[in-house]
Amino acid sequence: AQKITQTQPGMFVQEKEAVTLDCTYDTSDQSYGLFWYKQPSSGEMIFLIYQGSYDEQNATEGRYSLNFQKARKSANLVISASQLGDSAMYFCAMRGYQAGTALIFGKGTTLSVSS
C-alpha cells in the first residue's frame, strides 16, 4: 500500500530564514508523482510543487524546491526566505496507480513564520 509520512507536526521559523519540511513515502509503483500542497487557515488547498519519479533534477518553483532522494524515498520541501504569508499547513502527497491515481496525503506539518 502507498503511504506518506510527515513526522513534523509543527515547525517554527523566522522571516527570511529557510525551512525544510520532511516527507517520506512508500510505494511499490515504479511511476509516481510527489506533490506538495499548502492549506492556509482559510481552508483552500493550493498546489505548490511536483516531482516525477523519473525526474533526475530536483523540482523548483520560485521560493519552493523539492529535495528528492529516491533511494531514501524522501521528498522534502524547502522554502527559502520565509515570509509571514507562508504560515499554513503543508501536505505532502503521492499519486501512483495503486489508488486509481488519487492523491494519498500525509498528516501535514503546520508552519509558523514569525517576524
Partner 1 sequence: DSGVTQTPKHLITATGQRVTLRCSPRSGDLSVYWYQQSLDQGLQFLIQYYNGEERAKGNILERFSAQQFPDLHSELNLSSLELGDSALYFCASSASGVYNEQFFGPGTRLTVL
Residue indicated by cell numbers 488519487? 102
Binding residues for partner 1, rule: CB under 8 A, are 29, 31-33, 35, 37, 43-47, 50, 52, 91, 95-97, 99-108
In terms of CB distance, is 13 or 33 closer to partner 1?
Answer: 33
Query: What's the min distance (Å) between Cβ of 39 and partner 1?
Result: 9
Nearest CB to partner 1, comparing residues 16 and 97? 97
C-alpha separations of 52 from 3, 33, 58, 66, 95 in Å: 16, 5, 9, 11, 10
CA 79/CA 64 separation, integer angstroms: 5
Residue 5 beta carbon to partner 1: minimum distance, rounded to whole angstroms: 12
* Cell 519540511, residue located: 21
Shortest distance (Å) from residue 82 CB to partner 1 = 23
Q: Which is nearer to partner 1, 8 or 13 (CB)?
A: 8
Under DSSP, is residue 31 helix (H, G, I), strand (E, B) or coil? Answer: coil
